[in-house]
Amino acid sequence: MKSFLFVFIFIYIVVTVTNAQEKPVATGYFPAKDSVPGLDQIKSKNTFEDPQRLKTVENGSVFADVGFNKYDRYDYAVDGSGTLTIEILTLLDSRAAYSALTLLRKTGIQAGPPGDAFTQTQEKLCFAQKNIWVRIQGKGLPEDLIKTVSVTISNRIGLGKSKLPSVVLHLPKHGYDATSLRYFPDKKSFKSFSGTIAGTHPEFESDIEIAQAHYFLENKEGILSLVSFPTPQIADEYYEATGVMKSSAEGIKVYTKKTGSWVAILEGNFDPETAEKILKSIEFRYSIRWIYQKENKTKEVWGIPSGILQTVVTSIFVVVILICGSVFIGIGIAILRIKHKKRAQHKSLDGRDPTEMTRLRLR
């Protein structure tokens, strides 16, 4: 009985402490076996986390620029003679995934599912979901197989849509050509992929976000670049510099507007009235929130993470209670056994109490 109790206590401590330290194990996003009819077998796999190996990947430099973490690729044989390739890239964040989608798309971006947003051609579908970017392509495939696979992968990634970057959401709607959108999450991706605003190659000293798109309005056309800076002060400096910006192309005019920490640069053959219709809707809105911060608790005690230490202390407390309980139960059982034994000793063999006197009266 005691051995069983101590074994139970030991197992309880081990399981509790282990659960306190274990981390969720990442699962693959590729379709499970037999989950998609038509996928015959996996012909090859390729997985790496070294950014240098992106040189062997189609458009690998774009992923390296926006923020790369991991690359996974499965090549499938499809019923008949078809082939299917699935590439899943884990990027820095949702902004990086959305940027890659805008920079590599061949058609207009559509709202998901699959994913937060996707683009699709006859033999290729790409989508961005959270910090995951997926490319599915193949040849000789059954109708709608690519779409079925993409929905399966999207479901495995999980629910919950990421918000679009604020600078994208605030692009003016008048004359906006959504199929031309390009979003750059930082200056590195902008410089390597595009690098030009109104015919110039600006060198940004701080972090920036840029959304670029074509605009067509009243038989006029051009490109709008909306640049988001970390602070209004840095935006002021850039705005002053762009105030004298001129395009070398004949008939091309440049209009600028500064609001908050955003600077908009519109280039094209727009007249002032048409340019005003496009730029007037760009407004930076400030949001103030009062945050009451609780006093920070010590994250480590004696070099031990507080979460693990708390779990261990709780486990010891429970064990002490179990031990005390077992001791009291044992004492109670012992007392009952002693009383029972004493009563048995006072009884005769025929079941009578030996203290009783038997009297025989002779007459």
pLDDT at 131 over 50: yes
Query: Beta-carbon neighbour count of residue 236 at 10 Å?
Result: 14
Query: pLDDT tens across 71-121, in order?
Result: 999 998 887 778 889 999 999 999 999 999 999 988 888 887 899 999 988
Q: Which residues, at least 6 apart from 166, have a Cβ–Cβ distance to it below 8 Å?
A: 228
pLDDT at 184 over 90: yes
**Protein fold of 24-157:** Phosphorylase Kinase; domain 1 (3.30.200)
Average pLDDT over residues 36-51: 86
pLDDT at 200 over 70: yes
Average pLDDT over residues 45-61: 92
Rounded Cα distance between 260 and 72, Å, is 41
Q: How confident is the model at residue 351 (pLDDT cuts 50, 70, 90)?
A: low
- Ranking 13-22, 41-50, 89-98, 138-147 by mean pLDDT, the lowest is 13-22
| Phi, psi (degrees; rounded to nearest 5) at 124 | -150, 140
- 3-state SS track over 112-173: CCCCCEEEECCCEEEEEECCEEEEEEEECCCCCHHHHHHHHHHHHHCCCCCCCCHHHHCCCC
Q: What percent of the chain has pLDDT over 70?
A: 77
Higher pLDDT, 130 or 287: 130
Rounded Cα distance between 165 and 92, Å, is 14
pLDDT of residue 213: 93
- Counting beta carbons within 10 angstroms of the beta carbon of residue 362, is it exposed (0 to 12), middle (13 to 18) or buried (19 or more)? exposed
Coil, strand or helix at 183: strand
pLDDT of residue 14: 44
Higher pLDDT, 1 or 226: 226
pLDDT of residue 39: 78
Q: How confident is the model at residue 307 (pLDDT cuts 50, 70, 90)?
A: low
Rounded Cα distance between 319 and 308, Å, is 16
Measured CA angle at 34 (ends 30, 37), to 5 deg: 95
- Ranking 12-21, 47-56, 142-151 by mean pLDDT, the lowest is 12-21
- What would the two tokens of residue 236 be? 């002021």
pLDDT of residue 354: 53
pLDDT at 156 over 70: yes
Length of the chain: 363
Domain ranges of the chain: 24-157, 166-279
**Protein fold of 166-279:** Protein Transport Mog1p; Chain A (3.40.1000)
Query: pLDDT tens across 249-267, in order?
Result: 567 888 989 998 999 999 9
- What would the two tokens of residue 94 be? 């949702």
pLDDT of residue 350: 53
Indicate the pTM of the whole model. Answer: 0.69
Query: pLDDT tens across 203-243, in order?
Result: 888 889 999 999 999 899 999 999 999 999 999 988 887 76
